[in-house]
Amino acid sequence: MDSKIIAPSLLAADFANLQRDIEMVNQSEAQWFHIDIMDGVFVPNISFGMPVLQAISKHAKKPLDVHLMIVDPDRYIKTFADLGSTNLTVHFEACTHLHRTLQAIKAEGMKAGVALNPHTNINLLEDIINDIDLVCLMSVNPGFGGQSFIENTYHKVSQLKDLIDRKGAKTLIEIDGGVTNQNAKELIDVGADVLVAGSYVFKSDNQLNTIKDLKKLANS
Ligand code: DX5
Ligand code: ZN
């Protein structure tokens, strides 16, 4: 069974043809949509907000994996639930009361994710890992698509995998940033469950085949 998940990031889609690109993902072998919300404060870039997510939600036929790169995400948990988010991921670095935030996400019926910037140590999750449905390891500095993969990510994946196993948690490990066919297999081999891919999918000539091949590689 194909248990490893491919989540194309719409940040790299053609925003003037968003419906077309959403339909492509609907038809593809990818299991999730990855949606990047940036506020220009937590990260030095602004992506898109609620009206665009509402439009995406209307056409997307697969779970929406929403990645919030915003300060004080607690303010918008209910809004993102109402917009159809399946997973809601907040940044560890943006949450003062992470435990409370995760409970609030779950209370709205969503899966709770925590993203870690490349410099944030895995050990910081020691006392919270059992409350997290998904850890998103940033393999680039958040804010932009198309950056190169940070090699230290492999080490972080194995550390996180050890922590999850040691604590008997059921947390999924997601990798976000610079994912290509060059690192996909190794990421899965060290413990990743979900691969986010933006530029690699949307800038390729045959997007359906790129997704298909990436998924095959991840599940080989
Ligand atoms: C970066 C975003 C990523 C981005 C990945 O801040 O969180 O999801 O869209 O894009 P690529 O795959 O192009 O690195
Ligand atoms: Zn992302």
| pLDDT tens digits for range 42-84 | 999 999 999 999 999 999 999 999 999 999 999 999 999 999 9
Pocket mutation for ligand 1, best pick of 43, 140, 187, 200 (most atoms within 8 Å of C-beta): 140
| Residue 195 CB burial class (10 angstroms; 0-12, 13-18, ≥19) | buried
162 is catalytic: no
Q: Give nearest CA residue, ligand 1 atom 1.
A: 142
What are the structural domain ranges in the chain?
5-218
pTM value > 0.95: yes
Report whether residue 145 contacts ligand 1, using a CB cutoff of 6 Å.
yes
Query: E strands, 55-209, where?
Result: 64-69, 87-91, 111-116, 134-138, 172-176, 194-197
176 is catalytic: yes
What value does the mean pLDDT take over residues 157-184? Answer: 98
Q: What is the CATH number of domain 5-218?
A: 3.20.20.70
Ligand 1 atom at minimal distance to the Cα of residue 43: 6
Which ligand sits closest to the CA of 65? Answer: 2
| pLDDT tens digits for range 73-102 | 999 999 999 999 999 999 999 999 999 999
Ligand 1 atom at minimal distance to the Cα of residue 146: 13
**pLDDT of 1 above 90:** no
Ligand 1 atom at minimal distance to the Cα of residue 177: 14
